[in-house]
Amino acid sequence: MNYLFNTWPWYISGPLIGLTVSLLLIGGGKMFGISSSLRHFCAMALPNTRIEFLRYNWKAEIWNIMFVLGIVIGSFLASAFLSSSAPSLLPPHYHSVSGAIKLLLGGFLVGFGARYAGGCTSGHAIMGLSDLQPSSLVAVICFFLGGFLMLGIFQIAGVAL
Amino acid sequence: MSQIKFIIMGIYFGILLIKSDVASWFRIQKMFHFEEAHMYLVICSAVAVGMLSVFLIKKFKVRTINHQDIVISPKKFHRGNIIGGLLFGMGWIITGSCPGPIFAQIGAGEFMAAFTLIGALLGTLSYSYLKPKIG
């Protein structure tokens, strides 16, 4: 039983994550992707906006919001019932004002970048690469380049994340 | 309620985000510092399984459980793939999460991730506003 409560090894968890692609395609006729939900939330919150990109029928994409709701429930279940101790997901020093600022700014880059790139790690790295999409390969390479670039900037500036 | 199945699929994926440790800031740091292969192996094995499934779905013209055709629309290349991709990566290493893990961290009780979510929503909103100018 310990196996269940520890971190699942990559050769179990990785392939199971990959199965989400066919689960959504065959089970729901939907392409895997999560960052679109952020757009739907914005559209939902601003029903009378003049911003063209947020004027669409988000209700037709409600499945995406349901999927995200499921992620929240599933991760709660996993941490409450499938973990020997509460999983540590963010470092203790992020539980501070400076941590909140880092998360806000970093989150901004994630949200802005994902929409500009047309997808995130799920839509491009998993779904797009699974479908051998060249634009997804470019995006994924840039995801990693961006991370390494940021790492370099922090190291040159002598700042620890 | 045809939507319930999507909640269940989300639960499946949410459990995996936590149990694979992909939603952990520490794993993301170790990935970018080349300290361990875990993240790379998770991503590569997930993509391998995804590729095989898409290949089989196309080859055997698999249909959905509701007997509808499966349509996989191509993602057209544009400069956003590069610029947006770079910005995304910068945010990825700082927050230690991407859109899926943001929701997984919140579900697992990591309340600070609410800041990441607010940031991500503001980022999405800003992009939406700027889209006519930056394409």
Tens of pLDDT, residue by residue over B78-109, are: 999 999 999 999 999 999 999 999 999 999 99
Share of chain A above pLDDT 70, in %: 99
Report residue A68 as tokens: 């995200």
Cα of A108 vs its chain's centroid, Å: 13
B61: distance to nearest CA of chain A, Å? 11
Query: B46: closest CA among A117, A3, A122?
Result: A122
Q: What confidence category does residue A159 fall into, taking pLDDT thresholds of 50, 70 and 90?
A: confident
The pLDDT tens digits of the residues spanning B11-70 come to 999 999 999 999 999 999 999 999 999 999 999 999 999 999 999 999 999 999 999 999
B60 touches chain A (CB under 8 A): no
- Band (pLDDT 50/70/90 cuts) for residue B1 is low
Q: Distances from the Cα of B53 to the Cαs of B11, B58, B74, in angstroms?
A: 21, 9, 16
Residues 6+ apart with CB under 8 A from A73: B7, B10, B11, B14, B107
> How high is the pLDDT of residue B3?
94
* Nearest-angstrom CA–CA distance, B11 and B5: 10
CB contact under 8 A, B92 and A146: yes
Q: What is the mean pLDDT of residues A154-158?
A: 93
Closest chain B residue to A154, measured at CA: B94
Q: Are B15 and A78 in contact (CB under 8 A)?
A: yes
Identity of the residue numbered A92: P
Q: Smallest Cβ distance to B98: which of A22, A28, A120?
A: A120
Extract the tokens encoding A79. Answer: 């941490």
Q: What region, left, alpha or beta, does residue A101 occupy, with left being phi > 0 and alpha being psi -120 to 50 degrees? A: alpha
